[in-house]
Amino acid sequence: MRSLILPMLMVAGVVVAETKPFPAVIPNEKPDFPISAAMERLYDEWNPHEDRANELYSNFKYTELNFKREKNVSRRDPTKVIKVDGIYHVWYTGRRTECPPVGLKKMTETQPGTDWDLADIWHATSSNGIDWVEDAAPAVRRPPKPEQGHRSICTPGILVWEGKYYLYFQAYNQVGGQEYCPVRVAYADSPNGPWTHHPANVVEPSPEGTWGNIKINDPCPVVHNGRILIYYKGAPIERGPEYVLRMQGVSFCDNPLGPFEASTLNPVINSGHETCMFAWKDGVAALVALDGPEKNTIQWSPDGENFKVMSMIQVPPVAPGPYCPTTFEGKGDGRGFTWGLCHINPDGGGAANESILARFDCDLSLDHDVPVFKRNNLRFNEQTYLQQGVRLAPNVKAQIDASRKRLDKETIR
Ligand code: AAL
């Protein structure tokens, strides 16, 4: 079709589109002369001015925070940051145990299996978003046995709805990849609590045989079109290359205490690990990191269910909790964010040691322009390439050495 509107030339009796070299000044509109598939994509999928003109593209710069580093004390998976009466608030998974995680096979009543085992939900406040003061005790404690969540409550997500505060969290009776994990909620009239446990599950795993049939993780509430949307990561109990490993879905409700109704389109995000959804213009955006074919992208959806990749990002925050007030306004005018908290596993792993909270700054805001965050070409020093997890491990080197005989062929001369 397109060639019909191209300027035509008659060459040796054949009509061909007129070719032109691509100009130095970037045309704002897609050129009407033949361009390569990559340049078609630049106009159709991206932006002729690349990432610098993409409001949903950003780099992330990190800052250490002043939370006290203590042995066997872990802080991870922060909620979004909210600001109430001039004070910033955040909640997160807090673990204070007698020893580091000992693994799922060796865990006991008092020795954690993973970093998020035997955890409660902690709260910290700040007047500037940089210096944080942690409460002396957890904001929400594990409920007593046999209530769901008595072993560990973790990975909270905050919702502000009609003047009240709701903390959604993972509720484990036993931690482990194939253990049942619904989402529960506690509510309060003030961000300083006191918090009351709602006595029922609010988001349940999906039915047997479907993609999220054993655990619902990382609940992430967003208000959209006057409704509450809870996004989450789901996984099936079945494991193996033929099964879904983890994807992200959404459930809807008009009442923060549920019952939430799962989208019939779930999963709505095919990639990612921890969730990070936020109001953007009249739709919902998602920062998708770590896993899946669309890892390390920012996506957007007009309806909260049908997402499109908007940018590809580098070194995204892990488990980000942005300060993004318009996410709870539900006015169809999401403005994005410029900072938030995330977690870092100092050992580079995910579950074996205590995690720390850190701050990230970025430019994913419609109200702010800091060109450094729109840059490409991030480069890293030698320690980055040669650190554990990135440098070639001895066992992989052994595998490579073993196949060398078969693969090492003479270059054709
Ligand atoms: C996190 C989250 C969920 C997982 C574990 C604790 O970062 O994805 O919360 O269950 O790791």
What pLDDT shows up at residue 6? Answer: 58
Span 74-100, mean pLDDT? 98
Confidence of residue 47 (pLDDT cuts 50, 70, 90): very high
Per the CB < 8 A criterion, the answer to whether 321 and 341 are in contact is yes
Tokens of 386: 């040669």
Confidence of residue 3 (pLDDT cuts 50, 70, 90): very low
What pLDDT shows up at residue 127? Answer: 98
Ligand 1 pocket: which of 104, 117, 118, 170 to mutate (most atoms within 8 A of CB): 170
What pLDDT shows up at residue 177? Answer: 80
Q: How far, in Å, from the CA of 157 to the mean position of ligand 1? A: 12
Say whether pLDDT at 347 is over 90. Answer: no
Q: How far, in Å, from the CA of 154 to the mean position of ligand 1? A: 8
Ligand 1 pocket: which of 77, 178, 287 to mutate (most atoms within 8 A of CB): 77
Write the pLDDT tens digit of every residue in 365-391. 999 999 999 999 999 999 999 998 899
Confidence of residue 180 (pLDDT cuts 50, 70, 90): very high
Q: How far, in Å, from the CA of 262 to the mean position of ligand 1? A: 21
Say whether pLDDT at 350 is over 70. Answer: no
Q: What residues line ligand 1, using a CB cutoff of 6 Å?
A: 77, 116, 154-155, 170, 217-218, 233, 273-274, 319
pTM of the entire predicted model: 0.94
- Looking from the CA of residue 273, the nearest atom of ligand 1 is 8
What pLDDT shows up at residue 9? Answer: 66
Span 25-49, mean pLDDT? 96
Domains of the chain: 2-48 (no CATH), 61-273+338-382 (2.115.10.20)
Say whether pLDDT at 8 is over 70. Answer: no
The residue among 343, 227, 207 whose CA lies nearest residue 276 is 343
Tokens of 93: 């998974």
Span 297-306, mean pLDDT? 98
The residue among 28, 126, 140 whose CA lies nearest residue 84 is 126
In this structure, the chain runs to a length of 413
- Looking from the CA of residue 115, the nearest atom of ligand 1 is 6
Element (H, E) at 93: strand 87-96
Q: How far, in Å, from the CA of 22 to the mean position of ligand 1? A: 47
Percent of the chain scored above 70 by pLDDT? 97
Span 296-325, mean pLDDT? 98
The residue among 156, 214, 146 whose CA lies nearest residue 184 is 156
Phi, psi of 401 (to 5 degrees): -60, -40
Span 122-140, mean pLDDT? 98
3-class DSSP state of 53: helix
What pLDDT shows up at residue 353? Answer: 80
What pLDDT shows up at residue 5? Answer: 55
CA–CA gap between residue 382 and residue 33 (Å, rounded): 44
Q: Whose CA is nearest to atom 5 of ligand 1?
A: 116
What pLDDT shows up at residue 349? Answer: 74
Confidence of residue 96 (pLDDT cuts 50, 70, 90): very high
Q: How far, in Å, from the CA of 373 to the mean position of ligand 1? A: 27
Pick the range with the lowest mean pLDDT from 12-26, 51-65, 73-87. Answer: 12-26
Q: How far, in Å, from the CA of 136 to the mean position of ligand 1? A: 24
Say whether pLDDT at 272 is over 90. Answer: yes
- Looking from the CA of residue 233, the nearest atom of ligand 1 is 8
Q: How far, in Å, from the CA of 367 to the mean position of ligand 1? A: 31
Confidence of residue 42 (pLDDT cuts 50, 70, 90): very high
Summary mean pLDDT of the chain: 94
CA–CA gap between residue 274 and residue 356 (Å, rounded): 16
- Looking from the CA of residue 77, the nearest atom of ligand 1 is 7
What pLDDT shows up at residue 2? Answer: 47
